[in-house]
Amino acid sequence: MTEPNSGLSTEAADLFARGLFYLANVDGMEKREEDLLRDFINESGSSLAFDELKEDSAFSMHEASQVLETSFQRRMFIMAAIAMFKADGEFSSPERHALGEIADAFGLSNAEFGDLEQEASRASLE
């Protein structure tokens, strides 16, 4: 089932929410990151509530690479995470490392990851 607001299936939207929650907590979730994640959950068609993520935010890179089958979905996940990280003004080393591991699981090269980082930096989440 695809939700009209995001174009993601409920399963993919849930995966995005769990993955972004996991990544936002790598170095401590900032208020701005939390606000953006809450907005994503509300608009994406995710079946999860933010408080559910606090209780059970299990995220698996293996599951992510299976659920996000297309390179477009994988790139959108990476870009959403980078934009969320940069919302608080900093893309920390632990955040970059964790996201780099996911990019590796998705089969993205370092050059592709760098291109996505630049593209996400130009995008606005407002």
Residue 78 CB: number of other CB atoms within 10 A?
24
Place of tokens 């399963």: 11
Residue 3 inside a domain? The answer is no
Express each pLDDT in 53-84 by its tens digit.
988 768 888 899 999 989 999 999 998 898 88
Q: How many domains does the chain have?
A: 1
Q: What is the CATH number of the domain that holds 51?
A: 1.10.3680.10
Closest among 119, 67, 47, 91 to 17, alpha carbons compared:
47
pTM for the predicted model, two decimal places = 0.85
Residue 62 lies in a domain: yes
Rounded to the nearest 5°, which phi and psi values hold at 76?
-65, -40
With respect to residue 76, please indicate whether it lies within any of the assigned structural domains.
Answer: yes
Give 105-123 pLDDT, tens digit per residue.
Answer: 999 998 998 888 888 777 6
Are 44 and 16 spatial neighbours (Cβ–Cβ below 8 Å)?
Answer: yes
Task: Give the structural domain span for 98.
Answer: 10-122
- Determine, yes or no, domain membership for 72: yes
* 64 lies in some domain: yes
Among residues 24, 50, 32, the alpha carbon closest in space to that of 87 is found at: 32
